[in-house]
Amino acid sequence: MSTPMQQQPFILGSAEGPAFWYVNNRAVIKASAEQTGGAFSIVEMYMEPGHGPPLHVHKREDEVFFVLEGELFVRTGDHEALAGPGSCIYAPRGVPHTFRVESATPPRVLVLLCPGGGEGFFIESGRPAEGPGMPPLTTPDFSLLEEIATKYNQDFVGPPL
């Protein structure tokens, strides 16, 4: 019989955490499921202007976006809004959601996933950041992203905005 691992407190500075270039974005893992005993994950996202994922559904976790800088046009369920700094968007598991970056510069958004584990999607579909900024622009391979999404209990159910 195994016993749960004792979780250790931690503090990360503003420029700390493993960083990944995911599609044309930068994802910094601020808290992983491994660190929180599976309770939650937090990812700090910097996204390319115009970026937006396909309309998708998480089957396993609730997702919360907190906009720190920039603007997103967001759709979650039947709700749509322009979300600027200080905005909080809640996308419960099972509810289709998407967004599009509206600001001219990369917004900074905290993404909370409960329970944790969904950060693996960004890690597996990206690569370790090769520097402090954004990755070189590439054309996303949506079929590969969809395959990885399925592994993380996500379904693409529609196009990006």
Q: Is residue 117 part of a domain?
A: no
Question: What are the pLDDT digits (tens) for 57-96?
Answer: 999 999 999 999 999 999 999 999 999 999 999 999 999 9
Q: Is residue 60 part of a domain?
A: yes
What is the C-alpha to C-alpha distance for residues 157 and 118, in angstroms, rounded to an integer? 18
Q: Is residue 110 part of a domain?
A: no
Contact status, residue 90 vs residue 36, Cβ threshold 8 Å: no
On whether the pTM is more than 0.85, the answer is yes
Q: Is residue 41 part of a domain?
A: yes
Q: Is residue 30 part of a domain?
A: yes
DSSP-assigned letters across all residues of 124-143? HHEEE-SSSSPPPP----HH
Q: What pLDDT does 142 receive?
A: 86
Q: Is residue 142 part of a domain?
A: yes
Structural domain for 155, as ranges: 17-78+124-161
Q: Is residue 84 part of a domain?
A: no
Q: What pLDDT does 104 receive?
A: 95
Q: Would you say residue 100 has pLDDT above 50?
A: yes
Average pLDDT estimate for 98-117 = 97
For the chain, count helices (H), then strands (E): 2, 12
Q: Is residue 145 part of a domain?
A: yes
> Structural domain tally of the chain?
1
Could you give the 3-state DSSP secondary structure of residue 6? Answer: coil
